[in-house]
Structure 1
Amino acid sequence: DPRLPSCDCDGVLHMILDAYGQPIRQAELKEPQTARIARHARPWIDPALVKLTPREVAQRLAAADDGDLSAQHRLFADMEDRDATIAAAMQQRALAVARLPWHIEPPPGADAKEKKAAEAAEELIRAGIDALEDVLVDLMAAVGHGFAAVEIAWQRQGDAWLPDLYPRPHEWFGVSDDRRSLALLDDSGRGQGLRPFGWVLYQPRRPKAGYVARGGLYRALVWPFVYKAYAVGDFAEFLETYGLPFVVGKYGREATEEDKTRLLSAVASLAHDARAIMPLEMQLEIHKIAGSGDGAPHLKMIAWADEAIARCVLGQTLSSEAKSTGLGSGVADLHAQVRQDIRDADARQLAATLTRDLIWPVVALNFGLADPRRGPRLVFDTSEPEDVSTWAEALPKLVSIGLPVPARWAAEKLGIPAPEGDEPVLGAAAASAQTAQTAQTAALAAGDDAQRVTQNASTPPQPDALDALVEEALADWQPLVEPIAERMQAIVDEAVRDGATAAELIERLTRALPELPAERLAGQLARAQFVARVAGVEGRDG
């Protein structure tokens, strides 16, 4: 490929470096790093944990702090499989980012080559990676585990290098000797450093206290999960036995072990089958259960664990509050969203990772860019478009009183993109043309002359004597309006800086109306109205 740099004798691609300055070898691009590691060819899937005790949990966490991550991440995977609250909260947080619109933009002050590379990279990513949203969800697993690794397998299609993305299990990775970075476990047990341009490695949080193992939220969710598991088990056992009477068998002092065994068998048979046989001299007593059967202590423990999980992952617990307080759908609708600051932080960190580990390799290999600092970057659109109906009502009122509203600012507020080239747009002109055409069609249907209708529609009305009088009365209106417009423009600018909504802007303008210098303008308008009315009366009398 003439666009790609040449290779030296070691297969190093000249001028192509990763985001950390490491050179790229062409041979390493042709084969994924895990392809020749036997232990990953047929990965062993551990069964779900049958019985999890606090002692075993503590041992797994301690082993992770010592560098062995496998047991900890198997525990984390089991938590996702066994706890519906954890699975739902994590999926909700992942989808909040994955469904955001995204684009690739050039660096600030980009030249023509950098702009072209950004446009081509976005086109290539959108066309070449069909399941990018699924990959984003896989990468968001790093929120719980502390990291997520997606391997890149490069394929040549024509003149282009295209990435195929494969999520890899967390158990495939260990920590380096300094415990500050990840290594791919191999057959030797020592681990390998991750190849440049070979991985998308997402680590949303800095390793706590220098330990990679402590970076995920699952470290905080382990104990609520364990306590909830015990509470659920105890509650299930309680439901199994609640309502059944206690059956007590009595035997005499002379009873042998065989007699005791027969009596115990009779008690068990009576409890389950309501049938039993026993010697005549033995006795059975049946005691009826008295007391509440709501299982409140167990359910309180389960509710506490669910609230702790929701608070840790989503930042709030409004689902339980809406259920217990009977609040309306507004609370439930709010709970349906991840807290905006958490979502925006996830989007910002994930975009930085994708820019470093995916976008830069694509543009470096395909477009010959050499400086990672001047490469394009992926950006998620986290802005919330304003209520169009509110602005549609507010903007005409603001413009009608002389407020100079920039069209660009209004388009940004409403999330409306600027038209490109000669792209057709909706506007007042089109609406006016359609209205004129409708009027012309109606006139023709009524038998009017089409030529006269067209001429009347195209000829602007001529000013009469009344218009001249009003114009003369308002000859100096502009100096009167300027201080009012300047004051209102200052209010709008302040609202834009504060990020105020349309309703808040209207409220600010309403509060400022008594302070506006409108006395002279009102007097001038009154005189103009008086002149117009007098002229109208004289016209009728004449």
Structure 2
Amino acid sequence: MSQGIWVSPNEFVSFSELNRPSKEAVATRSRVNGSLGISGKLQNPDLVLRKMGKSIEVYRDLTADAHVGGCVRRRKSAVLALEYGFDREQSQTQVADFVEKVFSKLKMRTVISDALDAPLYGYTPLEVMWSDVDDKIVPVDVVAKPAEWFFFDDENRLRMRTKEDKDGILLPERKFILVRQDATYENPYGIADLSRCFWPTTFKRGGFEFWLKFTEKYGSPFLVGKHPRNTHNTEVDALLDSLEAMVQDAVAAIPDDSSIEILEAAGKGSSADIYERLMMFCRSEVSIALTGTNQTTEADTTNASAQAGLTVTEDIRDADAELVTEAMNTLTRWTVELNFSEEEEPPVWSMWSPETIDKTQAERDQILKTAGANFTNEYFIREYNLKEGDLGEQLPPSAGMGYPSFAEKPKKPNDTVAAVADQLSRETQPIIDGWIERIRSFAEKAKNMEELQERLLAEFDNLSEDELAQAMASAFTVINLQGRDEVNNGR
């Protein structure tokens, strides 16, 4: 008989059940704050929007500012300049080829740019437009929809406002991809970087208005007209009209008993600098909020400080690229699930800096070349974006590695060489045999040269680059010396 406790006249709970962790959420909004209404609408906790009582549309107006718009474009361009594509990994060839073909027909630059609105506004819903193509369900377009059309409920579920339902409707499955920046349970709307630009931009616009008035008032010299003490008001008004005309046309007609003096507004330069410093400070705040640095936008920046500021920008760029990568992999997974099965492994979509990948791949190819891999010119043209005619005639593998060719005419027999060859052969033959057997096994299973290269690197990843090159070089040396010895002995 199991031991436990009766929690009610009709419900018995065993002690083993009491020791199990709860599978349900305990800390929820409904338990702490009660119901938020029929739909449980959760207000956006953005401080600017709450204090202003406005929607996220107010942030769209900020992009009309020249500096804000320029920083937004620069931030998006940093991500759009990255390379992108699929890594097949464990995905089957049929699945990977299908997904790559589907994505090749999408306007990827537009999709990536739309997804990058998420860091600016906190979140961006992307609606996937599905269509039947050749008995397959494929995405034919991905469109960003205005964030102000949507809201979250107390269960952090995305809802859309409609004319028919004021409480909003839940969205269908596999229809909207939600891209968010730094979203949490407390704030599912994410963090909008444009919220940090609202007040600096507002103060800059106000300072610019006062600066214009100050310039108009004190930037031009004052014209002072002098007339006799008992001059009639009519004549005084006529003199003022002449002064006003003189400001505009630099020509005036006055009585011969009147005079005009030009007075400069001295000492006002320092006062005008206050407005300029205010606007430059506001510009710097916007640059820091959107690009992570103001070193590349200010006039007094040195080349060294500008280069140092680029490292911060790269961090923000990589974080934005991760948001896009997550969204594209979600779309990839949905495409595979709808056309194959949920158990099928989808390929992985990623973004990378071309310089970083080229260096890594070049180092990998150098190791494989030293190990004996013989790459074709077609491989280098495809992998390194070269053009026809950039590469000359391919060298033989042995000549490229600096080892003597087996076809060379053998030199005079040398007992020392033969002895060294025999000794090295005895000591290293078991190791070489193991390597050759493993490499032969990879070659039989590999579908293409690229897969063979990956398997070789994965198998010998316990060695450093220098150790791997040295081990392979030793193996080729032993083989070469052993071959020479056999030729010299007439075997």
Question: Which TM-score tier does this pair reach, normalised by the shorter chain?
Answer: 0.5 to 0.7
In the TM superposition, 1:415-494 aligns within 5 A as 428-429=395-396, 460-465=408-413, 467-472=414-419
Residues of 1 paired with 2:425 and 2:70: CA distance? 61
Tell me by how many angstroms 1:123 deviates: 1.8
Q: After the TM superposition, which of the residue ranges 262-271 and 272-281 deviates more from structure 2?
A: 272-281
Q: What is the CA–CA distance in structure 1 between the aligned matches of 2:217 and 2:51, rounded to whole Å?
A: 44
Q: CA deviation at 1:158?
A: 2.8
Contact (CA 8 Å) 2:153, 2:159: kept in 1 or not? no
Cα distance in structure 2, aligned partners of 1:116 and 1:426 = 35
Mapped partners of 2:196, 2:111: distance in 1: 25
CA distance in 2, matches of 1:211, 1:228: 31
Paired position in structure 1 for 2:332: 359
Looking at structure 2, the residues matched to 237 and 350 of structure 1 have their Cα atoms a distance apart, in angstroms, of 45
Which moved further from structure 2: 95-104 or 117-126? 95-104
2:349 alignment partner in structure 1:
378
Match of 2:320 among 330, 346, 354: 346
Q: Paired residues, what number? A: 375
**C-alpha distance in 1, partners of 2:416/2:241?**
114
Query: How far apart in 2 are the matches of 1:74 and 1:94?
Result: 20
Aligned to 1:89: 71
Q: Deviations over 1:18-51 (max 9, x none)?
A: xxxxxxxxxxxxxxxxxxxxxxxxxxxxxxxxxx
| Deviations 1:305-353, CA, capped at 9 Å, x for gaps | 23222222222333147x525436xx65666676333222222222112
Partner of 2:199: 223
What is the CA-CA distance between 1:279 and the residue it aligns to? 8.6
CA distance in structure 1 between the aligned counterparts of 2:46 and 2:399, rounded to whole angstroms: 71
Determine the C-alpha separation between the residues in 1 that align with 2:254 and 2:333: 82
Kindly indicate whether the alpha-carbon contact (under 8 Å) linking 1:175 and 1:182 is maintained by their aligned counterparts in 2.
Answer: yes
Residues 154-165 of structure 1 aligned to structure 2 (within 5 Å): 154-165=130-141
Query: Residue 349 of structure 1 aligns to which amino acid in structure 2?
Result: L
Do residues 101 (structure 1) and 49 (structure 2) align?
no
**What's the secondary structure of 1:461's corresponding residue?**
coil
Q: Give the direction of change, closer, same or farther, for the CA distance of 1:459–1:271 in structure 2 (3 Å limit).
A: closer
Q: In structure 2, what is the equivalent of residue 125 of structure 1?
A: 103
Does structure 1 retain, via aligned residues, the 8 Å contact 2:55–2:148? no
Residue 307 of structure 1 aligns to a residue in which SS?
helix
Q: Distance in 1 between matches of 2:194 and 2:183?
A: 15
Alignment of 1:60-71 (within 5 A): 64-65=49-50, 71=54
Question: After superposition, what is the alpha-carbon deviation per residue over 1:411-466, rounded to whole angstroms, capped at 9, x for unaligned?
Answer: xxx99969xxxxx9986427969xxxxxxxxxxxxxxxxxxxxxxx995322414x
CA RMSD of aligned residues (A): 5.1
**CA-to-partner distance for each residue in 1:98-152, whole Å, 9 max, x for gaps?**
33333334575x5x5xx532331122211x21x2112101110111111223322
The residue identity in structure 1 corresponding to 2:357 is P
Partner of 1:41: none
Is the Cα–Cα contact under 8 Å of residues 173 and 182 in structure 1 kept in the other structure?
no
Q: Distance in 1 between matches of 2:236 and 2:186?
A: 61
Distance in 1 of aligned mates of 2:48 and 2:343: 41
Name the CA distance, whole Å, in 2 between partners of 1:389 and 1:369.
Answer: 33
Q: d(CA) in 1 for partners of 2:145 and 2:217?
A: 41
Structure 1, 334-343 or 133-142: larger mean CA deviation: 334-343
Taking a change above 3 Å as real, the CA distance of residues 217 and 258 of structure 1, as seen in their structure-2 partners, is farther
**CA 1:269–1:352: 2 relative to 1, 3 Å:** same
Distance 1:339 1:277, change over 3 A: same
* 3-state SS of 2:197 partner: helix
Give the 3 Å change call, closer, same or farther, for CA 264–315 of structure 1 in structure 2: same
Is the Cα contact below 8 Å between 1:80 and 1:86 reproduced in 2? yes
Residue in structure 1 matched with residue 284 of structure 2 by the alignment:
307
Q: Distance in 2 between matches of 1:382 and 1:165?
A: 26
Structure 2 counterparts to residues 136-535 of structure 1, below 5 A: 136-165=112-141, 167-170=143-146, 172-178=148-154, 180-188=156-164, 189-206=166-183, 209-210=186-187, 212=189, 215-240=191-216, 243-248=219-224, 265-275=241-251, 286-291=262-267, 293=269, 295-320=272-297, 323-327=299-303, 339-356=313-330, 358-365=331-338, 367-370=339-342, 374-382=345-353, 384-385=356-357, 387=359, 428-429=395-396, 460-465=408-413, 467-472=414-419
Specify the SS of the correspondent of 2:139. Answer: strand
> Structure 2 counterpart of 1:339, which letter?
T
How far is 1:292 from its partner? 6.7
> Do 1:179 and 1:210's aligned partners in 2 also have CA atoms closer than 8 Å?
no
In the alignment, is the contact (CA less than 8 A) between 2:325 and 2:350 conserved in 1?
yes
- Secondary structure at the counterpart of residue 171 of structure 2: coil
Cα pair 1:67 1:174 within 8 Å, conserved: no
Deviation at 1:164? Answer: 3.3
User: Following the alignment from structure 2 to structure 1, what is the Cα–Cα distance between the partners of residues 243 and 154?
Assistant: 63
- Aligned-partner SS, 1:316: coil
How far apart are the structure 1 equivalents of 2:188 and 2:233? 60
SS in 2 for 1:339: helix
CA–CA distance in structure 2, aligned partners of residues 226 and 91 of structure 1: 20
Q: Which runs of 5+ in 2 are unaligned?
A: 1-44, 375-379, 385-390, 429-457, 468-491
Equivalent position amino acid for 2:139 in 1: P
- Give the distance between the partners of 2:241 and 2:55, measured in 1 at CA: 44
* Offset at residue 278 of structure 1 (A): 7.5
Task: State the SS of the aligned residue for 1:81.
Answer: coil
- One-letter code of the match for 1:360? R
Distance 1:407 1:296 in 2: 67
Q: Distance in 2 between matches of 1:66 and 1:303?
A: 26
2:57 pairs, out of 42, 56, 74, with: 74
Partner SS for 2:126: strand
Alpha carbons of structure 1 residues 432 and 121: separation in structure 2 relative to 1, 3 Å = same
CA contact (8 A) 2:126 2:145 kept: no
The answer to whether the Cα contact below 8 Å between 1:61 and 1:72 also exists between their aligned partners in 2 is: no
Change (3 A) 1:151 1:281: farther
CA distance in 1, matches of 2:169, 2:199: 33
> What secondary structure is seen at the aligned counterpart in 1 of 2:274?
helix
Distance (whole Å) between structure 2 residues aligned to residue 66 and residue 181 of structure 1:
24
Residues 1:116 and 2:94 aligned together: yes
Identity %: 17
Separation (CA, whole Å) in 1 of partners of 2:243 and 2:425: 103
* Residue ranges of structure 1 left out of the alignment (5+ in a row): 1-59, 400-404, 409-413, 419-423, 434-456, 482-492, 507-542
Deviation per CA, 1:258-302, whole angstroms, max 9, x where unpaired?
Answer: 888766655533332335578999886531232475853333233
Q: Does the 8 Å CA contact 1:347/1:380 hold for their aligned counterparts?
A: yes
Counterpart Cα distance in 1 of 2:178 and 2:128: 10
CA separation of 1:159 and 1:173: change in aligned 2, threshold 3 A? same
